[in-house]
Chain A
Amino acid sequence: MSTRSYAAADSATMLRRNLRHALRYPSMTVSVVGMPIIMLLLFVDVFGGAMSVSLASASTHGATYIDYVVPGILVMTVGSGSMPTAVAVCTDMAEGIVARLRTMAISRASILTGHVVGAMIQTMLSVGLVIAVSLLLGFRPTADPAEWIAAITVLALFALALTWLAVALGLVTKTPEAASNVVMPLFLLPFISSAFVPLATMPSEVRWFAEYQPFTSIIDTLRGLLSGAPIGNSAVIAIAWCIAIALAGYLWARSVFDRGPVR
């Protein structure tokens, strides 16, 4: 009865709760935004010179290095946003407040939905902040408004995918520490992708992995939308990856959550 009709109201309540958590304890959120910004500064201002040289040797249409690296940094921002999500979900489950919620006549899905929507808002705010900082540092995208909207949509879709994955990982890990470790690959994968250097500069085995892992297709799509590099079939692959990861994460999270409180 009440379960269905109140799903939206309950999700909004849970969202308010999660946002309040994030505002009250911003350290995790700050480090999530801080990390990509540090990477941006590091790669543009410290390694930038060397990177431009290697960039020039690979054919990248004469873009400056910052224009090349920002799409990678944006995807990294989305990736690092999964850490607080996994930790928050895991903490919730460990502290037993969720056990209380499970004994109440509320929409059960709202507990997860609240986390997902809250995480999406935080991640997209981080993305906005990183874009602003990169513009200040000299990022000069060529995108028109339609391309901007497409780029933001791709980022949002990717954020949705990684958030559901992070929720599932938060549900299956037993401690917040484990939860923060288990999402580490999402943070490291951009390094073995086209984020920082063109694939052509990598040894062939690494290049094979980099070419087919999800981050590369998403980064290439963003790069095409923002800086006019050729996209090819990257966009289709990127969207397919996002939908596949989102669906797998969602189904995994739901099945773990519905299994009950005893783990």
Chain B
Amino acid sequence: MTPISIPALTAVGLRKAFGPQVVLDDIDLEVPAATVFSLLGPNGAGKTTMVQILSTLIPADAGHAFVGGHDLRREPDLVRAAIGVTGQFSAVDNLLTGQENLILMADLHHLDRRVGRRRVAELLDRFDLVEAAKNTAATYSGGMRRRLDLAMTLVGDPSIIFLDEPTTGLDPRSRRRVWQIIGELVAGGVTIFLTTQHLEEADQLADRIAVLDQGKLVAQGTAGQLKALVPGGHVRLQFADVSGLQSAARSLGAVPRRDDRLELQVPNDGSVRSLKALLDRLAADSIEVEGFSVHTPDLDDVFLAVTGHPRHEEVTIP
């Protein structure tokens, strides 16, 4: 699919501060229609604030944005009519059943009663919620809630959907299911604005990725373009004991990433030549290596390269 010429979303010079703390600093973005744009960053990078501004929840301090062709500041209602939001701050009504939640959305979108009921039935089916339809949302598991949340977003047929960390806290299976749904939506022409701290998620889903760090966009491009920013991958070496780790660190000039692991990451492009050079070096210093693995560059390396510091927390990826 080639994106059409009018972007679904444009932001120029967006800025937001809460008191003295600058949360978003001069952000420029452009998202072509029917694509997935991913805003990638650690906790506290400003991702949710970005979504709150673009979805009309809070005003920006400065800058302009057009969402679905409408000025965010001057035509918020037209923007609201074009978007759907699912995310950390968006929610379901816990005291209503899944079905009632969807009907609430249908009523608020002023769908004709019959059309609304049919749409609700379709969505319950599509999101595997038929059996739970008559239970209150308070009894739902995390995955079910997220699916209901997403289904509620879709009742109004939005052309642009904001997904704020849609898979945070989900088990691997539910996560795959959400990814699958996102794929279907984009195939149907919907534009997705996705925030995530999962590098794999951005890699899997996004056409374009922007890396947000401490309120600033530090890199933007396709997954391939971003990976090209890092010259190569790395080799991971494992050692039997601390002395092995220390002598290897000294010999190779590398710093262990975590003290509690007998592990060293050394930049390496993965070619036979450079691997041989590395192994020769270790042999020359007679350092025992217990485990050895080669990693081609992934977004983790990109993040490290563009922000100059490792991600704040380890993420387990299924």
Name A213-263 residues within 8 Å CB distance of B. Answer: 260-262
A100 touches B77 (CB 8 A): no
Contact of A105 among B80, B89, B91, B94 (CB under 8 A): B80
Given contacts A20-B96, A24-B95, A95-B94, contact A103 B85 (CB under 8 A): yes
Given contacts A9-B110, A260-B58, A262-B58, contact A100 B96 (CB under 8 A): no
Stretch at the interface among B100-108, B258-266, B270-278, B307-315: B100-108
Min Cβ gap A160→B in Å is 25
Residue of A nearest to B136 (CB): A24
- Count chain B residues whose beta carbon lies closer than 8 angstroms to a beta carbon of A: 31
Name A90-129 residues within 8 Å CB distance of B. Answer: 95-97, 99-106
A261 touches B89 (CB 8 A): yes
A54 contacts the other chain (CB 8 A): no
> A151–B158 Cα gap in the complex (Å)?
50
A99 touches B89 (CB 8 A): yes
A95 cross-chain contacts in B, Cβ below 8 A: 91, 93-94
A100 touches B90 (CB 8 A): yes
A31 cross-chain contacts in B, Cβ below 8 A: none
Given contacts A1-B77, A17-B93, A96-B90, contact A103 B83 (CB under 8 A): yes
Min Cβ gap B175→A in Å is 21
Min Cβ gap A68→B in Å is 40
Min Cβ gap A9→B in Å is 6
Residues 67-104 of B, flagged 1 when their CB comes within 8 A of A and 0 if not, give: 00000000001101101110001111111100010001
Residue of A nearest to B93 (CB): A97
B100 cross-chain contacts in A, Cβ below 8 A: 20
- Residue of B18, B77, B136, B152 most packed against chain A (CB within 10 A): B77
Give A residues with C-beta under 8 Å from B: 1-3, 6, 9-10, 13, 16-17, 20-21, 24-25, 95-97, 99-106, 260-262
Closest 3 CB pairs of A and B: A96-B91, A105-B80, A105-B81
**20 new A-B pairs (CB below 8 Å) besides A20-B96, A96-B90?**
A1-B78, A2-B77, A17-B96, A17-B104, A20-B95, A21-B95, A95-B94, A96-B89, A97-B93, A99-B89, A103-B56, A103-B84, A103-B90, A105-B78, A105-B81, A260-B57, A260-B59, A261-B52, A261-B57, A262-B52
